A = this chain, B = another copy of it.
Amino acid sequence: MKIGIVGLGLIGGSLGFDLRQRQHTVVGISRRAETGDLALRQGAVDIAATSLEAIAAAQLVFVCTPIAAVAPAVKQLASFLPASTVITDVGSVKTHIVKAASLHWPNFVGGHPMAGKAEAGLAAAEAGLFDQRPYVITPTVATPPNAISLVEEVARSLGCHLYRCPPETHDRAVAWISHLPVMISAALIQACLSESELDVMQLAQQLASSGFRDTSRVGGGNPELGTMMAQFNQAALLQALQGYRQQLDQIIDQVASQDWPTLQQTLQQSHQTRPQFVDRPPAH
Q: Answer yes or no: A114 CB below 8 A from chain B CBs.
A: yes
Indicate with 1 or 0, residue by residue over A242-284, a CB within 8 angstroms of chain B CB atoms.
Answer: 1111111111100110101001101111110111111010110
- Residue from A180, A256, A277 whose CB has the most chain B CB atoms within 10 Å: A277
For A55, the chain B residues whose CB sits under 8 A away are: none
Indicate with 1 or 0, residue by residue over A26-38, a CB within 8 angstroms of chain B CB atoms.
Answer: 0000000000000
Closest to A265 in B: B223
For A226, the chain B residues whose CB sits under 8 A away are: 263-264, 267
The B-contacting residues of A in range 192-233, CB under 8 angstroms, are 192-195, 197, 199-201, 203-209, 211-224, 226-227, 230-231
A252 and B241: CB pair below 8 A? yes
Q: How far is the CA of A174 from the CA of B192 in the complex (A)?
A: 11
For A241, the chain B residues whose CB sits under 8 A away are: 248, 251-252, 255
Q: Answer yes or no: A184 CB below 8 A from chain B CBs.
A: yes
Identify which of A4-12, A139-147, A165-173 touches chain B: A165-173
A181 and B211: CB pair below 8 A? yes
A177 and B200: CB pair below 8 A? no
Shortest distance from the beta carbon of A110 to any chain B beta carbon, whole Å = 14
Q: Answer yes or no: A83 CB below 8 A from chain B CBs.
A: no
Counting chain A residues whose Cβ lies within 8 A of the other chain, the interface size class is 35 or more
Q: How far is the CA of A219 from the CA of B277 in the complex (A)?
A: 13
Indicate with 1 or 0, residue by residue over A152-187, a CB within 8 angstroms of chain B CB atoms.
Answer: 000000000101010001101110111011111111
Q: Answer yes or no: A190 CB below 8 A from chain B CBs.
A: yes
Which among B192, B220, B223, B240 is the interface contact of A176 at CB below 8 angstroms?
A: B192
Which among B212, B238, B251, B255 is the interface contact of A177 at CB below 8 angstroms?
A: B212
Binding site for B on A (CB under 8 A): 114, 134, 136, 161, 163, 165, 169-170, 172-174, 176-178, 180-195, 197, 199-201, 203-209, 211-224, 226-227, 230-231, 234, 237-238, 240-252, 255-256, 258, 260, 263-264, 266-271, 273-278, 280, 282-283
